[in-house]
Chains A and B, each alone.
With several copies, the nearest count.
Chain A
């Protein structure tokens, strides 16, 4: 196919991507939006395969077949709870691809022709360096994030004195090497791979010291980077589709990052470089938890029986326990008994933005019952029983009361203002922010210890029998 026809196909694909993304703005059109995106990609791939420069198809088809099978298997096998890891992994692969493409370009025909012609081509070289730099950071950063979320043994939170200085040096080093690459095109390959190694190391050190609770932010940010890397590759290859698609992804990642930071009331800088100071007025757990009362599924069932208005606040624990279907059963039972049930969804509950929505949707729970934080807080005084299911940080009142708390100022769901609070979790251990939660010891709180799924199904049974 003639290059200009390919470009035309790319333009159409770009438009399809935009329309697909617009489809994602409403639940009703979202499936179609995603499919349009996939279609756009297919279209672009076919157009590229027909490009006149492509001399052989066999290898390409095999490679794509392998990639597709691996991708589909991962995508279908993964538990919904492990979604964050999967996105991190895919993201790393995308970043890696950008690095490899930039590297391949440097040892390809076009590059050697340009070099031989003696004309300057600084813009393409700069874009190559950018693509290598951003792509490598994305690759290693995402893999480290994957390891942390998957709780792989060998990936620990590592931080040591001088880490920031090391990071700064690595960053400066990468930029310096990139600069060398641009001014010494004859040695471009050498400098490029050196750049890739430096940036990979930088990616590891940048992410390794960030706590698990902040991983979602990191993933969104790395997602944005992988888009920017693709854009940079687009500048290298003079390909407008790469530029556009990359820019869309870059924007999307940045906005998600911003949304999460706002919801946690922390700056991006603090997430990336600030250590979560382990808490101001640090009381020992024994002090905080002196008056904890625990309860039994039967007692909870009795309380629910006489309630008129129940609020369920799910958190990461619901995802871990895979308790969403059990929750659905409890909800239906309560509704049959004419008890109002709502869900209070905190914007950063779980490990990804919108994580709870996906899980509850999986269990077929009615969209209208999911209320946003502000809405639930406004009607909290009418709630008879609030069930906190595997949530912790997002209902921690010290965010409101203790100005020295690491999560001070983060908006929370004020379950402590409900008449009675039942907290379902396995122990008194802290959530991802790693701090104690005075809610557990409040006068109107009772703990129902146990695995989320188990506990809820016992409550349902008791309610059914009672």
Chain B
């Protein structure tokens, strides 16, 4: 409860600051906002591409698709590696290592189990 009240209070107090920060961000990132929009473009295109491809996948393959795409979502592993392996201090390293273990499980386990499922489909002609 206390945290909540505090939070609400801070939000109200900070309101004028945000406008300023927004403007600062906009100025500072002239050319950088451009970069952000490029990232957004990449995101939007990838979503469209995903939709187009996935809608073509037949029902038979939906379970492998689910576990396969789940494995891909472990891509956060790359971020984990950078966090754990970089010059970042102990706390960041600890978080990073935990993230590496989690994400690796997701990635490796996901691909292996998907392969196991799909191999069943292959045995039949």
> Are B62 and A54 in touch, CB under 8 angstroms?
no
Given contacts A11-B41, A244-B41, 7 further A-B pairs with CB under 8 A are: A45-B81, A103-B95, A120-B22, A251-B49, A252-B54, A354-B63, A361-B123
Residues of A within 8 A of B97 (CB): 59, 63
B36-53 near A? 1/0 per residue, CB < 8 Å: 111111111111111101
Complex contact A183–B17 (CB within 8 A): yes
Count of residues in B whose CB is under 8 Å from the partner chain: 108
Q: Is the CB of B59 within 8 A of A357?
A: yes
Interface string of A196-229 (1 = CB under 8 A from B): 0000000000000000000000011001001101
Contact, CB under 8 Å: B99 / A97:
yes
Contact B82 A67 (CB under 8 A): no
B92 touches A107 (CB 8 A): yes
22 contacts between A and B (CB under 8 A): A2-B30, A4-B37, A27-B122, A31-B118, A34-B111, A38-B115, A41-B71, A45-B78, A45-B81, A72-B112, A78-B113, A90-B105, A93-B74, A97-B102, A120-B27, A179-B11, A219-B66, A239-B79, A242-B76, A357-B61, A364-B123, A372-B59
- The answer on a CB contact under 8 Å between A71 and B57 is no
Distance in angstroms from B64 CB to nearest chain A CB is 6
A248 touches B76 (CB 8 A): no
List residues of B whose CB falls within 8 A of some A CB: 3-4, 7-8, 10-11, 14, 17-18, 21-22, 24-31, 33-51, 53-89, 91-93, 95-124
Residues in A with CB closer than 8 Å to B78 are: 44-45, 48, 237, 239, 241-242
Q: Are A74 and B105 in contact (CB under 8 A)?
A: yes
Which of B3, B91, B102, B122 counts the most A-chain CB atoms under 10 A from its CB? Answer: B102
A56 CB within 8 Å of chain B:
yes
User: What is the distance, in angstroms, from B109's C-beta to the closest C-beta of chain A?
Assistant: 3
Query: Of all chain B residues, which has the CB nearest A56?
Result: B85
Asked if A166 CB lies within 8 Å of chain B CBs, one says no
Evaluate contact between A177 and B7: CB separation under 8 angstroms. yes
